[in-house]
Chain A
């Protein structure tokens, strides 16, 4: 905070200004019964902005842009979710937003020092194993949720940050090659491949097929970062072989997919508007209805359709706020992912961490947006930070913390600053006498 105070103050003010503009839009354009609903939403949003701005100087990091983007996007999400079907503060979503902010701090503290996290590598693997056992024991073969009474948890979401960390910590092992039959192999590459395959099979078993591309994306990002690592020596043959293997597995996957998944692959939504194509057709009609500037916050009809706040949230926002605003929201999310490109990480570990997070977020956004626009088969994947869902928000927060860690890494103790010699010529006392 000390290094760029002016830039950070201006950033904070503009984040506040953007939220104020959105709240003014609700005040004049929104659908609300009592003005008090708008004021309570405004108090929540601006209070969260101010609280984060006050806390930020106490964070032990030297870059804060991702923090500002995080609070910008989270409060935008709180405003969107509070407006669907009429303006009223969504307390549940506000709590998950605060949980995401806390998770981002945890993600940052855990991932900032690559020497420390490399020593905890086995704990990450154990963590993945434990989550997988919990899924096996508690969710059941056709479900991905654990019912905890007043709320539900989706444990498979927790595997995403853990897999990103496993990929990042294994990068440094590329130089330790071992002879296995006729091949020189790195044990950790095989372990990581095994973990990813086990996660994908588990997702298949739970019928959470939409998450498989996200895990595959994280693994692919880690794989390409390992190629870039010094002395990794990935040959062209290995790469071509990996590409063919992916195509073969995808082909077998489509062939063996359950009937409802194959139906979704080839469904014509307009001839099946009341069946498999219901959500997508309604989502597309809503986008067209909203136009560039939207019907107004809380004035849409899509909130009557199932999963309006999660799986087809892009269309719900387009309808109420306009396509322009929905695209801006995606741009802000992409901006968060682009920060490591502006300020590249200084270690392979942090680079892999950032690449894994970018892959996970980009695949999730693509599946959600293109799915609800009928460009690809419809999946139940959330947009990070925008869609409603506690587990999704917390894991997205953890991964945002990893991005912050890639921007403010720790490389051990800093060497003490050397004092510059004084520019003034030394004058001996009494020299003029």
Chain B
């Protein structure tokens, strides 16, 4: 009888263990769903310059030369905290953070501007293209 009780206790603990494991798997499944949803929220956009692609992974993306910037551009013509990109209602906006050389969108100096696909952003001497993300297998 004592053994039967022990077995029952062990089975109960095991059921809880398995349940925890299943919930961890469910959380990982949600990760991929959240990634797809974020792609939709951010309109699946990215910043590109020759030789580098920068994903836009959260709703506030800081661009600058400083090590803490989300998109770090190691170029002296770019300020340490140059510009901030934010997304709302699926529309990305770029805002000058008080940089020395300013933010140019399609050649026009702006303090704040809404971005559209294939806009060209100039930060100092660097030229970035705001474009829709391309899958790896796409050519």
Q: Is the CB of A343 within 8 A of B22?
A: no
**B84 contact from A15, A230, A328, A342, Cβ within 8 A:** A230
* A335 located at the interface, meaning its Cβ lies under 8 Å from any Cβ of chain B in the complex: yes
Please give, as numbers and ranges, the residues of chain B lying within 8 Å of A29 by CB-CB distance: 5, 8-9
Residue interface mask A2-33, B partner, CB < 8 A = 1:
01100110110011011011101100110000
**A21 contact from B15, B30, B97, Cβ within 8 A:** B15
* A120 located at the interface, meaning its Cβ lies under 8 Å from any Cβ of chain B in the complex: no
* A273 located at the interface, meaning its Cβ lies under 8 Å from any Cβ of chain B in the complex: no
Instruction: Identify the stretch in B31-39, B46-54, B103-111, B118-126 within 8 Å (CB) of chain A at 4 or more residues.
Output: B31-39
**B13 contact from A68, A324, A347, A411, Cβ within 8 A:** A324
Please give, as numbers and ranges, the residues of chain A lying within 8 Å of B62 by CB-CB distance: 230-231
Please give, as numbers and ranges, the residues of chain A lying within 8 Å of B58 by CB-CB distance: 346-348
* A293 located at the interface, meaning its Cβ lies under 8 Å from any Cβ of chain B in the complex: yes
Q: Is the CB of A14 within 8 A of B19?
A: yes
* A388 located at the interface, meaning its Cβ lies under 8 Å from any Cβ of chain B in the complex: no
- Tell me the dominant secondary structure on chain A's binding face: helix
* A168 located at the interface, meaning its Cβ lies under 8 Å from any Cβ of chain B in the complex: no
Instruction: Identify the stretch in A91-99, A300-308, A368-376, A413-421 within 8 Å (CB) of chain B at 4 or more residues.
Output: A413-421
Q: Is the CB of B43 within 8 A of A415?
A: yes
Q: Is the CB of A63 within 8 A of B90?
A: no
List the A residue with the shortest CB-CB distance to B35: A343
* B41 located at the interface, meaning its Cβ lies under 8 Å from any Cβ of chain A in the complex: yes
List the A residue with the shortest CB-CB distance to B132: A418
Residue interface mask B53-93, A partner, CB < 8 A = 1:
00001111010000011100000000001001001111000
List the B residue with the shortest CB-CB distance to A10: B22
* A331 located at the interface, meaning its Cβ lies under 8 Å from any Cβ of chain B in the complex: yes
For this complex, 26 residue pairs linking A to B, each with C-beta atoms less than 8 Å apart, are: A11-B22, A14-B22, A14-B23, A17-B15, A21-B11, A22-B12, A22-B15, A25-B12, A28-B4, A28-B8, A29-B8, A64-B26, A68-B26, A72-B19, A230-B70, A294-B9, A343-B30, A346-B34, A346-B41, A347-B58, A348-B58, A407-B30, A412-B89, A415-B41, A415-B89, A415-B90
List the A residue with the shortest CB-CB distance to B17: A328
Please give, as numbers and ranges, the residues of chain B lying within 8 Å of A17 by CB-CB distance: 15, 18-19
- Number of residue pairs A-B, CB distance < 8 angstroms: 151
Q: Is the CB of B29 within 8 A of A7?
A: yes
Interface size class of A (residues with CB under 8 A): 35 or more
Chain B interfacial residues counted at CB < 8 A: 47
Given known A296-B5, A348-B58, contact A4–B70 (CB-CB < 8 A) = no
Please give, as numbers and ranges, the residues of chain B lying within 8 Å of A72 by CB-CB distance: 19, 23
Please give, as numbers and ranges, the residues of chain B lying within 8 Å of A328 by CB-CB distance: 13, 16-17, 20
Given known A24-B8, A29-B8, A65-B30, contact A411–B59 (CB-CB < 8 A) = yes
Please give, as numbers and ranges, the residues of chain A lying within 8 Å of B38 by CB-CB distance: 346
Please give, as numbers and ranges, the residues of chain B lying within 8 Å of A321 by CB-CB distance: 9
CB distance from B94 to the nearest CB of A (A): 14
**B9 contact from A20, A25, A343, Cβ within 8 A:** A25
Please report B residues at the A interface, Cβ cutoff 8 Å: 4-6, 8-13, 15-20, 22-31, 33-34, 37-38, 40-41, 43, 57-60, 62, 68-70, 81, 84, 87-90, 97
Given known A115-B88, A175-B97, A347-B60, contact A411–B5 (CB-CB < 8 A) = no
Measured in the bound complex, the distance between the Cα atoms of B60 and A115 in whole Å is: 12
Please give, as numbers and ranges, the residues of chain A lying within 8 Å of B31 by CB-CB distance: 342-343
Measured in the bound complex, the distance between the Cα atoms of B100 and A393 in whole Å is: 52
Q: Is the CB of A413 within 8 A of B90?
A: yes
Q: Is the CB of A231 within 8 A of B5?
A: no
Please give, as numbers and ranges, the residues of chain B lying within 8 Å of A7 by CB-CB distance: 25-26, 29-30
List the B residue with the shortest CB-CB distance to A68: B23
Please give, as numbers and ranges, the residues of chain B lying within 8 Å of A348 by CB-CB distance: 58, 60
Q: Is the CB of A69 within 8 A of B9?
A: no
Measured in the bound complex, the distance between the Cα atoms of B9 and A321 in whole Å is: 8
Of all A-B residue pairs in the complex, the 4 with the closest CB atoms, nearest first, are: A415-B90, A230-B62, A21-B15, A412-B89
CB distance from A56 to the nearest CB of B (A): 13
**Beyond A14-B18, A335-B20, A342-B30, 16 additional pairs, beta carbon < 8 A:** A3-B33, A4-B33, A10-B26, A18-B18, A21-B11, A28-B5, A63-B30, A114-B59, A230-B84, A231-B68, A293-B5, A293-B10, A294-B9, A325-B16, A347-B59, A413-B89
**A412 contact from B8, B26, B33, B90, Cβ within 8 A:** B90
Residue interface mask A58-90, B partner, CB < 8 A = 1:
000011110011001000000000000000000
List the A residue with the shortest CB-CB distance to B66: A231
* A332 located at the interface, meaning its Cβ lies under 8 Å from any Cβ of chain B in the complex: yes
List the A residue with the shortest CB-CB distance to B1: A28
* A339 located at the interface, meaning its Cβ lies under 8 Å from any Cβ of chain B in the complex: yes
* A322 located at the interface, meaning its Cβ lies under 8 Å from any Cβ of chain B in the complex: yes
Please give, as numbers and ranges, the residues of chain A lying within 8 Å of B24 by CB-CB distance: 335, 342
Q: Is the CB of B97 within 8 A of A414?
A: no
Q: Is the CB of A18 within 8 A of B19?
A: yes
Measured in the bound complex, the distance between the Cα atoms of B25 and A318 in whole Å is: 28
Q: Is the CB of B12 within 8 A of A414?
A: no
CB distance from A299 to the nearest CB of B (A): 11
Given known A14-B22, A68-B23, A331-B20, contact A415–B9 (CB-CB < 8 A) = no
